[in-house]
A and B are shown apart, each in its own frame.
Chain A
């Protein structure tokens, strides 16, 4: 028994946990920002997919991984801008527009990938991002290799947690984002442009979602496959609720999900895997997401103006 525990919780496990959490964290922060401004973005799953495709394609042809990341961010922003146009400027249903954006983005991602790469027997691959050990810190015992020998994007993702918390709490821009998500009329009467602020939050959020997708195709894997996102976008939406729309709690949620995911990967590889069908392990993270959501989310209070279009003349 202890043998199994040892096998599960070694340095490699911690490192895997942090790596698995990275795309979730980026996507969750992006969704959180959008929702704090009052716009639910159900386009997230599709935006991550098209981000993964764009990032991979650009990196494949340019040979520059960072150019791929930039492309993924740009494409994510464009698709999010479409969502902002439909929901913020035109006031359409956020649910309908979001699902539309996911379908359009997914379709475009598959279509463009086929156009560019055809149907090769073996999917083309790139040389993925390599871990970037931080000098000094990575030499620390246990946590050094686990936390400080990660991909550059992982460091960025985790730095975004305190950064986004700081921006929301301590800058006029962050305060106005929170205000347009709670009571756009109050923001409007104080001279804040509700439309501009919502656009900004949705588009920046879309950029983060695109990068989250690119992390999967450029760091976690080294290729683009049609199942690369595998529901992570939907999980991010749940994690925003779990995190009660606050950056630190969202990060805790992403780590919790990643912990279960890393655990099930280890369990599959362990002795147990011979007796239990592997699908049972795959279910685990989602099952626990549901349990965690059901217990925590009862007290969750969404931004008051979430889902509500803003029209100036109406109260």
Chain B
């Protein structure tokens, strides 16, 4: 293997106004390297990579690729140098085929598109890296994981030697994540370089060969063998303080706050519920594990009144949910943190204050005699913003401009304002950094200590085992098994998630 680094960044700095997003950053990627780039949101990871991909221009510093100094003014320069990037938001056209999305922008003097030649090159990428998609499928039919695979294939097709993956696992299921890691290892074995941005420590330790940690725009640490470093060490470098695991104090379990008896529903976002029974008591966090699409969406939606059950009984805080509607669920004392905070959780075009009161806009004190009381809404929003440490310019800030962690805080601030008896939280920390994740977990534990119930639907087994009192596994719309957390192991849960009965575990 050659001794010339694939990529060298020296003293790269970038300021936005008074904020130093990157401050003298050095970074080296060798051929075959998988470099984990770690840091909290706002640490400067994405800015650094956007400089490398030509989206931003560095104020100072030098970039060398294959030993040669390069000037990257735009994405075309980056692609020409051999740098490819998979953004968090995919750059795909949904109605076009996989092949057409790959072919766009291909340089050539040809008047006609040569699809046959393209298919040969795609077959080569499949053979080298195990990455494949049917070229004729429309992108609209691809899952999120497949769309990401398409972005990687696209970068390889365009000749990338260095691939930047910006938080690629934030949108993936555990199975899809395994597939991504396999592809990353294949690329590494072929001498490609990878920069893997993440804030999930376990993943970085699993796949990265080295990692660099950023905080406040500076490199605060480099770890040569991430697999051997402890979570606590890495977290300290990322956050600048010790992060202790959340503590679950013993709590006296109270009366049931959520009861489902033999509930069935039509399918929604995967399987519907099939004769599902489940109870959550006050002072209890019940975790729901399962591969996505096994009825978690139907469970969350039927409880929040957005999906009508075809049979069965639902009781919230002891009272039957007889006429299901979001309003009815809320009136009985149910709070919800929906899986897709941007679509079903918040209205991103509205202000923070509007979102804070949206479910209760027509009720006192926010409305009186059919008129909105803007003063009270503003005061309420200010109080919530302060109480939940939401980083935004103020109550009138547009919600869509805020980061994922702050969006989730707005949802929490809103749902917890009225002290719900039970909270349904679906993937509440997906895409959040360590600090924000910890904030969400602390609020859940406070609710538990106050005798409220929480139904925690998550694909993150570590999260479930850290927080839950009991864990139930969903498979094809049913509860495949349930156990106290003390009896749960990743292996046992994983087996049940594939539909194997508990006895074989």
Contacts and interface: CB of A to CB of B under 8 A. Distances in A.
Interface of A: 170-172, 175-176, 178-179, 182-183, 185-192, 301, 303-304, 315
A170 B93 contact: no
A182 B89 contact: no
Nearest to A245: B95
30 contacts: A171-B112, A172-B106, A172-B108, A172-B113, A175-B96, A175-B103, A175-B104, A175-B113, A176-B105, A178-B95, A178-B100, A179-B93, A179-B101, A182-B96, A183-B92, A183-B93, A183-B94, A185-B91, A186-B93, A186-B101, A189-B91, A190-B91, A190-B104, A190-B105, A191-B105, A192-B105, A301-B95, A304-B93, A304-B94, A315-B89
A191 B54 CA distance: 12
A191 B100 contact: no
Contacts of B76: 191
A163 to B, nearest CB: 13
B53 to A, nearest CB: 9
Determine which residue in A170, A172, A182 has the highest number of CB atoms from chain B within 10 A of its CB, and name it.
Answer: A172
A186 B139 CA distance: 13
Given A191-B79, A304-B94, A176 B104 contact: yes
Contacts of A303: 95
Interface of B: 75-76, 79, 89, 91-96, 100-101, 103-108, 110-113
Contacts of B92: 183, 186
B201 to A, nearest CB: 28
Contacts of A192: 104-105
A243 to B, nearest CB: 15
B91 A186 contact: yes
B95 to A, nearest CB: 6
B91 A170 contact: no
Nearest to A187: B104
Nearest to B74: A191
Contact of A191 (B75, B94, B113): B75
B111 A171 contact: yes
A187 B113 contact: no
B94 A189 contact: no
Contacts of A185: 91
A189 B90 CA distance: 11
B18 to A, nearest CB: 20
Contacts of A178: 93, 95-96, 100
Given A189-B75, A304-B94, A179 B104 contact: yes
Most buried by B among A170, A191, A192, A304: A191
Contacts of B100: 175, 178-179
A2 B105 CA distance: 59
Nearest to A169: B113
A311 to B, nearest CB: 14
A260 to B, nearest CB: 30
Nearest to B92: A186
Contacts of A170: 112-113
Contacts of A179: 93, 96, 100-101, 104
B89 A186 contact: no
B94 A182 contact: yes
Contact of A186 (B104, B106, B111, B113): B104
Contacts of A176: 104-105
Contacts of A182: 93-96
Contacts of A183: 91-94
Contacts of A171: 111-113
- By Cβ-Cβ distance, the 9 closest A-B pairs, closest first, are A190-B105, A182-B93, A186-B91, A191-B76, A183-B93, A191-B105, A190-B104, A179-B104, A189-B75
Contacts of B112: 170-171
Nearest to B79: A191
Contact of A304 (B95, B101, B108, B110): B95
Contacts of A186: 91-93, 101, 104
Nearest to A166: B112
Contacts of B95: 178, 182, 301, 303-304
A164 to B, nearest CB: 15
A187 B112 CA distance: 18
A184 B112 CA distance: 22
A37 to B, nearest CB: 12
A190 B112 CA distance: 18
